[in-house]
Structure 1
Amino acid sequence: MRRFLAFLLPLVLALVAEAQSPAFVEARAGLKKALVGRLNGLAGWCAEKQLYQERDKVWRQVLELDVDNPEARKGLRFARTPDGAWKEPAPRPAQNLNKAALAELPGKRVEALAPFRDGLLAALAAEPDAARLARSVHAELLQLEPDDAVVRGLRGEVRDGAQWVLGETVRGRARRAELRALVEQALAAPMELAPAVPEANERAWADAWSCGTRAPHVRVL
């Protein structure tokens, strides 16, 4: 999912770029710069806790936001080539050596990401064309954190096991189960049939009818 969002996001941003006001662009740039700083701080925390695999993941995320970020490039052991390009080093195994610290990581990620999310959503709310921008903003935020419950909720989605789906999908499934139970109950219930005759307001046009049957919820003449 993250790879798909990474592919889709530039296309969506290009389509809505003209709709962004200068104030929104400026606010987003400031929020992004602050986010990069917090993510580098999170990478440092991961290193202190010997969560080296998570540290490298965070630095990779930094490079998605700031391709030339020196701290992330240095941490991932990139080197400059003579022509000024970045050269990626040979892969190295990076493991999480402190399993107990992994339980703290989700909270630390929230501390790093939430100010960017909240600030960007606030800037979006102030935009005259917020509805048009919303989709790209939500996609950008979900690229950072696919399981952000706040953003998912704004999109009308709810958690369904390991997936996020539209709330109406879950409600529809529950309603279908209720209807199925009602049908099964109705089919299993004994059907009581009794003779039926035309009522007073029906006698004028029901003279030719020779028989009638009545069930609890229907009458046939």
Structure 2
Amino acid sequence: MTPALLAAAAGLGLGLSLIVAIGAQNAFVLRQGLRLEHVAAVVTVCLVSDAVLIVAGTAGAGALVTRAPDVLTVVCFAGAAFLLVYGLMAARRALRPAALVTEAAGRRVGLVATVTTCLALTWLNPHVYLDTVVLLGSLAGTYGERRWWFAGGAALGSALWFAGLGYGARLLRPVFARPSAWRVLDAVIAVVMVALATSLAVRGAAGG
């Protein structure tokens, strides 16, 4: 394997290791995939956003992010507020079967609202910047002239993951034919969102 392909493989592996974890973005993609609702738009927003952030980090934006703690603090609090609201909505669905019945009846959320939520879950999460811009960007720099191969591998890993999660979720639809399964999923999502909101608020209070 050539040095360039080795760099790309390293980027692919690290990109997948960072993104394959339950979080706000992944939980949202999974839920949209299970509902078969605006999956293409959600997957596209996620993979394009990650690609932009990875490119920015590789180009050197990571250093700027680490030197702007005030910006990270604001983003932390804004992200915490958004995730808390989203988590409470998921908790409401988990605790109120009537809300699940309404969803099962086929109520769909508009494309604009779905894309806006996806953008917020992606761009209001400081962990995204730390993982893609700072960490991946810094590691890409260690590959010198092959750093863009590394970045390309990381972006490919992101694209493969989001496409697989969004479109593969439909395989689990037989399991989620039962309202109780949706209640469990929403309960998990609520816990994850509130936990992330708390961690972001603590991070913001500590100054980013």
Tell me which interval the TM-score lies in, with the shorter structure as reference length.
under 0.3
- Which structure would you say has the larger RCO, counting Cα contacts within 8 Å and 6 or more residues apart? 2
More strand per residue: 1
Q: TM-score, normalised by structure 1?
A: 0.26
Higher gyration radius (CA)? 1
Q: TM-score, normalised by structure 2?
A: 0.27
